[in-house]
A and B are shown apart, each in its own frame.
Chain A
Amino acid sequence: MHKRNILSALALLAFSLAVGLKASTFPLGDLRRIGPGFFPLVLASLLGIFSLALLLSSLGKREERAPSHWPRRWLGIVSVLAALFAYGFFLKFLGFALATFLFSLVLLKYGYPDKWMIPLGGALATTLFSLLVFKYWLGTPFPGGWIGF
């Protein structure tokens, strides 16, 4: 059995059902004047059919390669994602400069776990560069936060 395919097919099937149910609450219209529900409903049904086909075709199949490529380095992935969402969450409060500095510092520290000078210097350089290019040259209105810039 092709486990990964079956897993993804089942997830997609559930998703298509949920989308289809939601879409069926939209006005459907008639053929002359197609309503907002028609297109999503057709798409949800198609997605359901394709997922079902994927499920059925994977039942008898062997997996070509062993699923040994599950991530071993969870730390990197989790810290990048956490840093990314945290950046969005704290941007207004910290301000662009401070948020950018902390974000770069965390990620550079991940690459250089036993050094401090490279991450600190790199984060400072990234912050100055982004401030100059994006805030002052291109004039993107970033939030200043409590330190003001």
Chain B
Amino acid sequence: MEFFQNLYEGFSVSLTLANFGYCFLGVLVGTLVGVLPGLGPTATIALLLPLTFKQDPVSAIIMLAGIYYGAQYGGSTTSILVNIPGEASSVVTAIDGYQMARQGRAGPALGIAAFGSFIAGTLATFGLGLLAPPMAGLALKFGPPEYFSLVCLGLVAATFLTQGSMLKSLIMIVFGLLLGTVGRDLITGFPRFTFGIYELEDGIGFIPIIMGVFGVAEILINLESSLQEKKEIYAKRITGLLPSVKDWAGSIGAILRGTLVGFFLGTLPGGGAVLGSFASYTMEKKVARDPREFGKGAIAGVAGPEAANNAASQGAFIPLLTLGIPANAVMAMLVGALMIHGVQPGPQMITKSPNLFWGVITSMYLGNILLLILNLPLIGLWIQILKVPYRVLFPLILMFCLIGVYSLNNSTFEIYLMGGFGILGYVFKKFDFEPAPLILAVVLGPMMEDTLKHTFLISGGDPTVFFTRPISAVFLALVALLIVFQLIPTIRKTKTEALKE
């Protein structure tokens, strides 16, 4: 019954007028950036992070979390109506969703996407509240060596689950870790890679890096294609948003399976919403009575992946809230947000700041209800927003990026940093390097170095502690296993195929 007691206390935090307002603002902005292609939750959260400095940490995290899972709802609208994924996690939704829209069934497709997302989001939030406390209890036993091994595992797992070459992901990770070493050494105060620039002494903030690599670089890539192209929106008027009994029968199984798969994959480092939706689509195709329907407007092909990406976005909070280890780039930013507010993310959060922990979790129930309302009756509004051309949007996005980084320290140096990382991110994209592992590494780098130093300090310079402490040994064994797996050609082939589908 402690669970319900906790929920009650959580709701007493999340239902205050201010927090409810921030939750609404978060899911509203989330839906907006989800609908708009070319602006993702990662860049948006980076953008809004400086604005939350003056807020109460609970409100800040409630709002930022809302942007993240709200974007998963909004992304499906664009996929279904325009055949351009609003978010990376809605790529598969476009396959069958767009076909449904062309057959005049845009209403049921949007309806089932929203209901599927709602069911998955609510169930996954329940799972999060249930699983996080015991996980955190386990994590409380972790010392520096365990954390060091866990960070290694997280980073290697992130390379394993991202698309493309593992070697390139590993390079991105090491590059990110190196970026994390810039600035004064925490213990000795020795300046590293500062080149006499005093702004660099505190290190390179992850916000200019993220905004450069995700925001500016994305715009540069988009500017390569013509700005005059017109988006064709398939549906003048949307009718029949409520799915029929037949639609429900065809998709409820997919929703539940998608929830499970998505939730599980979401908790893994590097997993997240994209992988969840792809895995769900593959699975639905396998269990379907007639797989040939997929690609021609199968409702299960919309319901499953949409449920999965929502469940995944909720599952991703588990490693953040219990271990303090982010599972993806968005969670990495939330780590930064928590630390800026003086909250150390990790297993002690549940006991030390129960208001924050349960307040954020219960706000997700509210957020999912709000999103259902935002995405069904107000669908017309989002269709209007979809009509805003990119040549109007991109100057606005850039403007907000500029204001966002400048207001970090009221310093133009951050603008130059963002510009520099924008160029770097553009080059990375051109050479097929995925930027997401880099962000994880930038955030986890200082923690990795810190735990390494502490481990050696405690053990008196003996590196074997990593292998003699059982939990740490298990993590490192998993690291080795993941690397060996990657080296075995047959597994590598299946993985490439699985991620491709």
Contact = CB atoms under 8 A, between A and B. Distances in A.
Interface of A: 4-5, 7-8, 12, 19, 22-23, 26-27, 30-36, 39-40, 43-44, 46-47, 50-51, 53-54, 57, 69-73, 76-77, 80-81, 84-85, 87-89, 91-92, 100, 103-104, 107-108, 110-112, 122, 126, 130, 134, 138, 140-142
Interface of B: 51, 54, 167-168, 170-171, 174-175, 177-178, 181, 185, 187-188, 190, 192-193, 216, 219-220, 223-227, 389-392, 394-396, 398-399, 402-403, 406-407, 410, 412, 415-416, 418-419, 422-423, 426, 430-433, 448-449, 452-453, 456-457, 460-463
Contacts of B223: 73, 76-77, 80
B224 A46 contact: no
Contacts of A111: 227, 389-392, 394-395
A77 B175 contact: no
Given A26-B190, A50-B174, A126 B419 contact: no
A108 B432 contact: no
Contacts of B448: 39
B412 A36 contact: no
A8 to B, nearest CB: 4
9 contacts: A12-B175, A19-B178, A39-B452, A40-B181, A47-B171, A51-B171, A84-B402, A91-B406, A92-B412
A22 B196 CA distance: 14
Contacts, number: 158
A8 B428 CA distance: 9
A38 B433 CA distance: 27
Contacts of B51: 138
9 A-B pairs closest in CB distance: A111-B391, A31-B461, A36-B185, A88-B415, A107-B395, A76-B223, A32-B461, A36-B190, A88-B412
Contacts of B188: 27, 35-36
Nearest to A126: B399
Given A4-B431, A77-B223, A138-B51, A87 B391 contact: no
Given A39-B449, A81-B423, A103-B399, 18 more contacts: A26-B192, A31-B461, A32-B461, A33-B457, A47-B171, A53-B167, A76-B224, A84-B216, A84-B415, A84-B422, A88-B402, A103-B398, A104-B399, A108-B392, A108-B395, A111-B389, A122-B395, A141-B410
Contact of A8 (B193, B219, B390, B433): B433
A54 B224 contact: no
Nearest to A85: B419
A51 B170 CA distance: 10
A94 B188 CA distance: 41
A47 B175 contact: yes
A87 B395 CA distance: 13
Given A57-B167, A71-B224, A46 B174 contact: yes
Nearest to B219: A80
A27 B168 CA distance: 30
Given A4-B432, A88-B415, A36 B174 contact: no
B363 to A, nearest CB: 22
A72 B221 CA distance: 11
Contact of B167 (A4, A35, A50, A140): A50
A84 B407 CA distance: 15
A22 B392 contact: no
B178 A47 contact: yes
Contacts of B403: 130, 134, 140
B178 A43 contact: yes
Nearest to B401: A84
B190 A27 contact: yes
Contacts of A77: 220, 223-224, 426
B402 A103 contact: yes
Given A34-B453, A44-B178, A130-B403, A88 B419 contact: yes
Contacts of A50: 167, 170-171, 174
A87 B452 CA distance: 41
A23 B23 CA distance: 45
B106 to A, nearest CB: 29
Contacts of B225: 73
Contacts of B394: 107, 111
A84 B419 contact: yes
A54 B167 CA distance: 7
A25 to B, nearest CB: 10
A19 B452 CA distance: 20
A89 B226 CA distance: 29
Most buried by A among B389, B391, B410: B391
A19 to B, nearest CB: 6
A94 to B, nearest CB: 12
Contact of B395 (A46, A57, A104, A134): A104
A81 B449 CA distance: 34
Contact of B416 (A23, A31, A57, A85): A85
A19 B179 CA distance: 11
B453 A7 contact: no
Contact of B456 (A32, A85, A138): A32
Nearest to A108: B395
A108 B388 CA distance: 13
Contacts of A100: 399
A54 B174 contact: no
A143 to B, nearest CB: 9
Contacts of B463: 31
A107 B398 contact: yes
